[in-house]
Amino acid sequence: MSDRVTQEKNCQTCSKPFTATMTKLLGHFPVPAAKFRQQAEECPSCKEAYRAKMEATARRRRLNFTEGQVKEYFTVNPPAQGDTLILAMSQFHRNAYRLVRVVNPASGKQLRIIVDKGDAFGGASYYRTGKSTFAPKGQTVLRPYVAMVAEKLNYESETDLSDADLQALLGG
């Protein structure tokens, strides 16, 4: 028996024909061959488009900054005391944001950024990458001031923005 099964299918999204392939995983097919031949599937380019869309959505939730880009931004534009930055919180599948003011822009050797009102999960101290020093793997991150988004936010409370809101504000 072969290690792979192929089947001509029509993409369930764009209807274009493509050759679907199933290969063995640890010696077994993930689904029985007969089921694989029947089941609807997306073509590789629709799968890729979907993956890219999901990735863009995840990036917008972090205000279109990766950790590396945050670090680069703060290196080129060092924050100053009193500057406004944005806390992005994504606990419980929320996209919540709040404005914070910089209290100490360069604390210690690591030039940590201390903000006035921390967050219950992330605290008030952040690395230059935007990661919390208190919970580096947490879901609260510090982001530069992004005017289009900041206009919707305030210092007193968290504001929820939907993925559609973020797309309207940030584009893409």
Q: Binder to Zn ion among 7, 10, 46, 169 (CB under 5 A)?
A: 46
Residue range at the interface with Zn ion (CB under 5 A); choices 37-45, 60-68, 107-115, 116-124:
37-45
- The answer to whether 54 contacts Zn ion (rule: CB under 5 A) is no
Nearer to Zn ion, 44 or 136 (CB): 44
2/27 Cα distance (integer angstroms): 11
78/128 Cα distance (integer angstroms): 9
- At residue 170, the 3 state secondary structure works out as helix
Residue range at the interface with Zn ion (CB under 5 A); choices 14-22, 70-78, 86-94, 147-155:
14-22
Q: Binder to Zn ion among 3, 6, 14, 53 (CB under 5 A)?
A: 14
Nearer to Zn ion, 11 or 89 (CB): 11
120/98 Cα distance (integer angstroms): 13
Sign of the alpha-carbon torsion through 110, 95, 161, 61 = positive
Residue range at the interface with Zn ion (CB under 5 A); choices 6-14, 55-63, 68-76, 145-153:
6-14
Nearer to Zn ion, 13 or 167 (CB): 13
- The answer to whether 49 contacts Zn ion (rule: CB under 5 A) is no
| Beta strand residue intervals within the chain, DSSP E | 4-10, 17-23, 84-89, 96-107, 112-119, 123-126, 140-143, 159-160
Q: Which residues bind Zn ion (CB under 5 A)?
A: 11, 13-14, 43, 46
